[in-house]
Amino acid sequence: MRLFVGLGNPGAKYANNRHNIGFMAVEEIARRHGFAPWRRRFQGATSEGTFDHEKVVLLRPMTFMNESGRAVQEAANFFKLGAGEIIVFQDELELPPAKVRVKVGGGIAGHNGLRSVSEHIGNDYRRVRLGIGHPGVKELVHGYVLSDFAKDDRPWVEALCAAVADNAGLLASGRDSTFQNKVHLAMQARGFASKEGDGDKQD
């Protein structure tokens, strides 16, 4: 069994924020794979389904970003899951827009959602880092992540969430590198891959 956690803030005010791309990704997984309707539990909203007989629970914490770990810990305790069975989808300032990286553990780079999750379940969970780019100046970060994606961003955001959802079964079975490669190739095919040409690496 796997717990897929999308990080974001609840409510219509935040729905299209850059900080909410984690929510967008798990919502697209539920939509594309016919998961059960969302329901309120574990201080969040959950939807359940399967990939190749592997049960997956999607979780959107409704505690606001800074307290995301409370919901994750409650769900993990209920299902008796260790950190290695939890995958967190998050916005990543240090990656170019439309880029994806999967990693286990590591630093939190000032991400309050990751900080809260690590405080509650330890640091050894997997992160699906969804690149949103950086505003260039540290002082602008707060306003940048809490503002909506620009209209011009919507095509790649939708394409990225679709590519992540289409290949989410690979994450459930632990094939992180294959997942990363397939998402990169899907984005390249749609004309959205960045020019770095390093979609097959993990950092």
pLDDT in tens, 101-148: 999 988 887 899 999 999 999 999 999 999 999 999 989 999 999 999
The residues that bridge with 91 in the sheet, in sequence order, are 130
Percent of the chain with pLDDT over 70: 95
Mean pLDDT of the chain: 92
- Closest among 185, 175, 146 to 54, alpha carbons compared: 175
Q: Is residue 199 part of a domain?
A: no
> What is the per-residue pLDDT across 42-87, written as a single tens digit (0 to 9) for each?
999 999 999 988 899 999 999 999 999 999 999 999 999 999 999 9
- Domain assignment present for residue 194? The answer is no
User: How many Å from the N-terminal Cα to the C-terminal Cα in the chain?
Assistant: 25
pLDDT digits (tens, 9 = 90+) for 151-202: 999 999 999 999 999 999 999 999 999 999 999 999 999 888 654 444 434 3
Asked if residue 46 belongs to a domain, the reply is yes
Total of domains in the chain: 1
| Buried b or exposed e, range 123-146, using 16+ CB within 10 angstroms | eebbbbbbbbbbbeeeeeeeebbe
| 19 carries an active-site annotation | yes
CATH of the domain at 174: 3.40.50.1470
**Which residue out of 19, 111, 120, 184 is catalytically annotated?**
19
pTM here is 0.92
Domain annotation covers residue 36: yes
Domain-located, residue 54? yes
- Domain contains 200: no
- As a whole number of angstroms, the distance between CA 90 and CA 7 comes to 6
What range does the domain containing 151 cover? 2-189
Whether 198 is in a domain gets the answer no
Is 16 domain-assigned?
Answer: yes
- The residues, ordered by sequence, that sit 6+ positions from 13 with a Cβ below 8 Å of its Cβ are none
